[in-house]
């Protein structure tokens, strides 16, 4: 019997959303919690993204738009979460980093096909750098909240420990949920760091082999800057011969 097809992406709509919470996640990343201003439930699939339509204009006088992966799992409420990195000289991210609770912004979404169907879920290796961890946070909460137990391994590359986004939350989840394994790798490790170091793509081959040997036929999900994404994909598809249908990609630069 053939596997069920993944659900079709939801049709994006434009709606106003109010910022209800904001906090720093790291030196240059802000965690933003929005709620639909019309109080309607916001339906989406874990891993999708939304586009914010900001009250700013570009050099051609058009409304400035910025897209961000959803950092939360769908829960039937009007809320959704984002992780926004501040870009030097970036008007959009600077505006969002200055946004105060109560402010309203127009949002279009959800959109995107970077999703993980729980109906056909397999052991998964999540590979992320920086705010590329956002969709995986949503996927992890979605799977665990629905009682899934297939292995979810997160290989997460950052420069320093203070850029390890959602660290306390993810480590607490991993203690309670044996199927969740966290593999952080620092490219600029401080003295005394005992974990993995270097770029994430250098660890893909070993982790894929370990996951495959223990659980069989995993899938890879990669989200981050294109340089990392291409390097990790090269390891999987060229060096290891993984079928392209088992490698899912989302670039954000």
pLDDT tens, position by position, 49-81: 999 999 999 888 999 999 999 999 999 999 999
pLDDT at 216: 87
pLDDT tens, position by position, 107-157: 999 999 999 988 878 999 999 999 999 999 999 999 999 999 999 999 999
Query: 228: which 2 tokens?
Result: 């990392």
Q: Which of 142, 145, 128 is nearest to 83 (CA)?
A: 128
Helical packing angle, 134-145 and 167-176, nearest 10°: 30
Task: For strands 124-129 and 219-224, give the pairing.
Answer: parallel
- Summarize the confidence of residues 15-19 as an average pLDDT: 98
Torsion of Cα atoms, 214 then 219 then 225 then 230, to 10°: 90
pLDDT at 10: 66
């Amino acid at each position: 019997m053939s596997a069920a097809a993944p659900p079709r992406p939801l049709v994006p709509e434009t709606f106003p959303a109010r910022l209800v919470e904001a906090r720093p996640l790291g030196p240059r990343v802000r965690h933003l919690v929005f709620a639909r201003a019309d109080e309607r439930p916001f339906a989406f699939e874990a891993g999708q993204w939304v586009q914010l339509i900001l009250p700013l204009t570009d050099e051609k006088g058009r409304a400035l738009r910025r897209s961000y992966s959803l950092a939360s799992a769908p829960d039937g409420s009007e809320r959704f979460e984002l992780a926004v990195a501040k870009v030097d000289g970036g008007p959009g991210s600077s505006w969002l980093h200055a946004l105060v609770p109560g402010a309203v912004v127009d949002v279009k979404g959800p959109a995107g096909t970077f999703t993980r169907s729980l109906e056909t879920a397999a052991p998964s290796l999540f590979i992320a750098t920086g705010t590329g961890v956002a969709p995986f946070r949503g996927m992890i909460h979605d799977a665990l909240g629905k009682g899934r137990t297939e292995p979810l391994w997160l290989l997460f590359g950052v420069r320093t420990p203070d850029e390890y986004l959602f660290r306390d939350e993810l480590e607490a989840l991993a203690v309670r949920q044996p199927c969740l394994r966290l593999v952080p790798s620092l490219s600029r490790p401080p003295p005394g760091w005992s974990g993995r170091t270097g770029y994430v793509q250098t660890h893909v081959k070993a982790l894929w082999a370990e996951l495959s040997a223990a659980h069989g036929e995993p899938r890879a999900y990669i989200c981050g800057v294109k340089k990392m994404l291409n390097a990790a994909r090269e390891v999987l598809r060229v060096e290891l011969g993984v079928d392209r249908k088992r490698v899912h990609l989302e670039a954000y630069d």
